Structure 1
Amino acid sequence: MSQSEIITIGSTAPGTGVDGDFAVWAPHRDRVRLRLGAADDPAPRVVDMERDRGGWWRARVDGAGPGTDYAYLLDEDPVPLPDPRSPYQPGGVHGPSRVYDHGAFVWTDDAWTGRPLAGAVVYEAHTGTFTPEGTLKAAIDRLDHLVDLGITHVEVMPVNAFDGVHGWGYDGVLWYAVHEPYGGPDAFKEFVDACHGRGLAVLLDVVHNHLGPSGAYLPRFGPYFSGENAWGPSLNLDGPDSDPVRRHVIDNALGWLRHFHLDGLRLDAVHALRDDRAVPILEELSAEVEALATSLGRPLSLIAESDRNDPRTVLPREAGGTGMTAQWSDDLHHALHVALTGETHGYYADFADPEALPTVLSRVFRHAGTHSSFRGRTHGAPVDLARVPGHRFLGYLSTHDQIGNRARGDRMGEHVSPGLLVCGAALLLCSPYTPMIFMGEEWAATTPWPFFASFTDPDLVEGVRNGRRREFAALGWAEEEIPDPMDPATRDAAVLDWSQTEADVHALVLETYRSLIALRRAEPDLADPRLDRFAVVASGDGRQLVLVRGTLRVVCNLASDGAEVELDAVPHELLLANGVPEIDGARVAVPGECFAILRV
């Protein structure tokens, strides 16, 4: 193609369309060429692109429609690089991108009107270990289990393209493309379509705070990063040339919601998004997602993972907040974990006080303008219980982080009895918060879930392997106790064992989870999110707790021995228990490691 054949398209249409239009942002490059053809094509077509004033390079090529492989050549570098906005990476993150037509997929969810997050029960799942096959197609076959359990929202861990076959997904480098070993873009659409057909909403975990270490070509195109955070370079959200960077993030979020019919996003570690703009990117994103939800006619949710303990995260924009629908509440996890397991190392030390669990249950945050010994400073701010409903905070007994960042990836069920585990579930599922379950938790799965990856660079493989060993050896772990994150067997051991759902105590735990979720749905008092109408009464040692939920009382005895609890009213109906409580007037004798839900 000669220079005269290049047609410049509109400056508001970045990315690659299906009509032969190509565009890429590379503001500081002197030359950008479009390479058309497969990676091994001995005679690819190379087209010079034309630059506009915004730093975008553009070209139109007739006949380069869906299925066309393409890449970019920057300046005189002979190595072709994938499109930063690639919609499809069939050859992995180092290979060429492929033109993909989002409009070609045939959806069957026309009647889907969405699900609000309020009243939800969320299920966190990792595609690569949810089934032995580790694919989105295989995951569809397990969706009926979630429906039977009573789940309303499936939160899928990141599916953006990352290097290798198996990994957590947080090392993604091409944020717009679905990981090919999971099945690629069509498979993800089929998964979402199947979920909607069963009444399940789908949330996607997205990572915008860093890139993975392999295939991170984004900085070669432009100033996408500036400064550092805990995982490496920090996204350039407020420096020179940051407008297109912010657009890269927002367009990515909107694209997932629009093209894949998703019902919401979980935003990874938003505290690592350094942004000094007058309008932070979270506010900008929430405004655009709200506009999209209005045009689509269904609710869309944004759930932040934030370490700040800042209530403004979930306040509306007009009230001075960022407009997030909800945020994860690690304080609630930590308090439950310490109360159930007795572990008090690291950040768990701040939750060792018997008052920690009742405090967090009733006030959301343990650190609310108080000293955090782990951080060595004052942390957080209090939640206005009269203004902020509990459904804006996700509570959980376990997550991918809280399990996977342990040396062996051991689950809570390895350290506590089934009775204590379901007591924890009762406290969570009968609380005003939005409950979230990590896959397999509902049957006390014994499969571990440690960190694993499958990078292709030998030096990186050794670096990750040795870094993991050093990290946990410093905490006293013997080398042989630490799974090799690069060994395929580590991933294989993390795959859920679905046969456990029908085995002995696992089946009993599963049935208890089902019953608790069903009761939460049947009894409005248990789902009531109003924090100023919720109370927690605890014994001096914190081992007996009573949740006051309207006309219901949730009694939990975390001690190994039976205990008597004096209620504020006389119960007259037992709704659910995992033991046999004895009721004498307002006094209830509860066996050790048991709960009872009563109507008064």
Structure 2
Amino acid sequence: MNTNFARERSWGAEILPAGGARFRLWAPAHETVSLVAMPSGKAQDMERAGDGWFELSTDLVKPGDGYLFELPGGMRVPDPAARAQVDDVHGPSKLVDPRAYDWRIPDWRGRPWEDAVIYELHTGTFTADGTFGGIESKLDHLVALGVSVLELMPVAQFAGNRGWGYDGVLMYAPHLAYGGPAALKHLVDAAHARGLMVFLDVVYNHFGPDGNYLHSYAPDFFDDTRHTPWGAAIAYERPPVRAYFVENALYWLEEYRFDGLRLDAVDQIRDDSLLLDIANTVRSRITDRHVHLTTEDERNVTFLTERTDGVAKRYSGEWNDDFHHAAHVIAVGESDGYYQDYIDAPVADLARALAEGYVYQGEPSPFRDGKKRGEPSACLPPAAFVDFLQNHDQAGNRAFGERLSSLAEPDAIEALTAILLLAPQTPLLFMGEEWGETRPFQYFTDFEGDLAAQVREGRRNEFRKWRIFADPKSREQIPDPNAMSTFEASQLDWAKTVHAPYQERLAFVSHLLNVRRERIAPLISSIPGKAGTVLAADGQGLSVSWKLPDGGTLTMAANLSDMPWMPPEEIRERATAGDLIYARADGDAGKRDGAMPAWSVAVRIREPQ
């Protein structure tokens, strides 16, 4: 069987079948560019290939050796599409033969989207080892837990060895600190051998502040007339720029055999045609296995996740911050920042998110100064929404990186976890959430000099509008992102998993996922858009039902308060109809009279009449 899954790219270096390699760089700002072999320093002029491209086929660089591109004036830069670096982002790139890895599971066909239970993790803090190999050592834990998707936060190489990955500058190079290309392929292979899908978080809306040399030879890569929170916008309309990102998506999915991608903050891309190009190209190119694309998009749009005959045309799912924010307000009661949009009726907001997807479907957002946000979303099936109680953003973008386990009571967390994992939406868990990890997940970087100081002060000033950080002295208590202690504090404590109460939480989550797998998952693909109905929602509890095509219903009721709750009499019969498949709170939540004790959840399936 052919296990060479590499495809030729417009950018970067490619091993040639007849020997040697072909190198390409888009450098429209210069008349000449040279290829420099490292460490010998031997150079060879590249040929102009039209439209700003330079190209050279040569045996000057051998597989495994380093190389740089030399610009007029002597400046040497790494390959922006390098498969690997020799060392850090400022040094030589490494010529990698993508055919060298021998795939053990080359015939993996993936799994359907309806199977997805996503587990998001950060490679550097998931284990003490902080590598792809460290993740591999925990794959059996994930299988036993019951998740089906391992989602890696970005791994493209960034400056230094510590960071979330959203400051990547070499978008094709798995970070050496994590193990590099071969180790990443081995991880994906090992996951597939266990029946796990692997997704990768990719960042196409900006480059990091350290190690991006594109401005030096391709200023046209950027549009200085438009800006993002991270600097000049990217000029996606230019063909070489568009090719860089479309080919990057294909690269991870084909060469590394990833099962899916999560595109970060696509609302900041501001060029929906790029998103459509990526999706359409992926769908047309990869037809022999399941591949899934998801987005993070605060606009609350629906066109990217539309279905045709129940099948995703472009993107399989959208991260749903609305679900998280409503649940967080219920559990914690916070009202600062974007939580102010949900403080008035968080239980009703959560019910709407369960029944229809988004909470904000065109209503004005107080947090956004009254601007309307979103569009009607009930047309989408529940599975189109990726819901979560925690993720890297929602923990790490807090001043001290506290997890929900450090902010809310156990009963509230367990009730909301049951809702998350037994609803027909696509659930996501953040690493350590399954045992109630109490270590924080903080924002950390590995910059030096003035940039380190700017990042530290910028991070602290982000919170100046929060009441508790109005005083500059209070902001000084926020951890320094560049301190090693900030990174080390964020590493998971796996020793907790064999001790109470963490062991009990782990068993609880595993049980919920078993119920989901056996009873909920078989229904998900058949639940269409406009299937959800809010039966009841007030300040204490909610009841939501989803129509099944065969005439049956899936119903979830929950009391999200410290006091007993009785659903309204007019919906009680509908809310308690069907077989009880799960009840939290010693089974009391399953009483036929509909009475719900504090922090209880009941889920029922009614067969067609």
Query: What is the TM-score when the length of structure 2 is the normalising length?
Result: 0.89
Aligned to 2:535: 537
1:24 has 2:25 as partner: yes
For 1:561, give the aligned amino acid. M
Give the secondary-structure state (helix, strand or coil) at the position aligned to 1:495.
Answer: coil
The within-5 A match list for 1:321-360 is 323-354=314-345, 355-360=348-353
Aligned residues: 572
Query: Residue 394 of structure 1: which of 379, 386, 402 is its match?
Result: 386
Given that residues 152 and 201 in structure 2 are in contact (C-alpha distance below 8 angstroms), is that contact kept between their aligned partners in structure 1?
Answer: yes
Report the Cα offset of residue 14 of structure 1. 3.8
Instruction: Tell me whether 424-433 or 553-562 shows the greater mean CA deviation.
Output: 553-562
Instruction: Indicate how the Cα distance of structure 1 residues 583 and 471 shifts in structure 2: closer, same or farther if over 3 A, else same.
Output: closer
1:246 and 1:113 mapped to 2: Cα distance? Answer: 28
Partners of 2:249 and 2:113 in 1: how far apart?
Answer: 18
- Distance between the aligned counterparts of 1:186 and 1:230, measured in 2? 34
1:146 matched residue in structure 2: 142
2:376 is aligned to 382
Per-residue CA shift, 1:4-44, capped at 9, x if unaligned? Answer: xxxxxxx9854211232211111221110111113xx5xx1
Partner Cα separation in structure 1 for residue 69 and residue 578 of structure 2: 72
The DSSP-based 3-state class of the residue aligned with 1:532 is coil
* Partner amino acid, structure 2, of 1:463: Q
Q: Secondary structure at the match of 1:366?
A: coil
Deviation at 1:168, TM superposition (A): 0.2
Instruction: Find the aligned partners of 2:340 and 2:456 in 1 and give their Cα distance.
Output: 29
Q: 1:313 to 1:12 in 2, by over 3 A?
A: closer
Q: Secondary structure at the residue paired with 1:91?
A: coil
TM-score (norm 1): 0.91
Q: Is the 8 A contact 2:355 2:544 kept in 1?
A: no
Equivalent residue, structure 2, for 1:7: none
What is the alpha-carbon distance in structure 2 between the residues aligned to residue 596 and residue 316 of structure 1? 30
**Amino acid aligned to 1:229:** T
587-596 or 209-218, which moves further after superposition?
Answer: 587-596
State the Cα deviation string for residues 433-463 of structure 1 (Å, max 9, x = none): 11111111111110101100011x3111111
Shift of 1:526: 6.2
Residues 449 and 14 of structure 1, relative CA distance in 2, 3 Å threshold: closer
Q: Which residue of the other structure, out of 574, 583, 601, is the alignment partner of 1:577? A: 583
Q: Within the alignment, does 1:282 sit opposite 2:279 as a pair?
A: no
- State the match for 1:461 in structure 2: 452
The residue number in structure 2 matching 1:80 is 76
Following TM superposition, where does structure 1 have runs of at least 4 consecutive aligned residues deviating by more than 4 angstroms? 316-319, 549-552, 569-574
Flag structure 2 segments of 5+ consecutive residues without an equivalent: 1-7, 547-551
For 1:58 and 1:440, how far apart are their aligned partners in 2? 47
Q: Does 1:246 align with 2:242?
A: yes
Match of 1:568 in 2: 573
2: distance between equivalents of 1:504 and 1:344?
32
Q: State the match for 1:4 in structure 2.
A: none
Do structure 1's residue 235 and structure 2's residue 234 form an aligned pair? yes
- The match for 2:463 is 472
Structure 1 counterpart of 2:95:
99
Give the counterpart letter for 1:73 in structure 2: E
State the Cα distance separating 1:561 from its structure 2 match: 2.5
Q: 1:493–1:451: structure 2 CA closer, same or farther, 3 Å change rule?
A: same
1:388-427 CA deviation, whole Å, 9 max, x = no partner?
Answer: 2111111111111111110000011112112111111111
Task: Output aligned runs, 1:192-231, within 5 Å.
Answer: 192-222=188-218, 223-226=220-223, 227-231=226-230
Shift of 1:539: 4.3
For residues 381 and 473 of structure 1, do their structure 2 counterparts lie closer, same or farther at Cα, with a shift above 3 Å needed?
closer
Please name the residue that 2:480 is paired with: 484
The aligned counterpart of 1:184 is 180
Question: Separation in 2 of the partners of 1:584 and 1:325?
Answer: 34
Compared CA separation, residues 552 and 20, structure 1 to 2 (3 A)? closer
**For 1:124-163, what aligned pairs fall within 5 Å after superposition?**
124-163=120-159
Q: CA deviation at 1:529?
A: 3.8
Aligned to 1:590: 596
Contact kept, 8 Å, 1:418 with 1:444, in 2: the verdict is no
Considering only aligned residues, what root-mean-square deviation do their CA atoms show, in Å? 2.2
Which letter does structure 1 place at the counterpart of 2:49?
D
Instruction: Give 5+ residue unaligned stretches, structure 1.
Output: 1-10
Residue 254 of structure 1 and its aligned partner are, at CA, apart by 0.6
Deviates more, 1:45-54 or 1:354-363: 354-363
TM-superposed deviation, 1:563: 3.2
Contact 1:21 1:59 in 2 (8 A): yes
**Within 2, Cα distance between the matches of 1:496 and 1:54?**
49
- Distance, in Å, in 2 between the alignment partners of 1:583 and 1:103 is 57
Are the equivalent residues in 1 in contact too, given 2:173–2:180 (CA < 8 A)? yes
User: Which of 511, 517, 520 does residue 521 from structure 1 map onto?
Assistant: 517
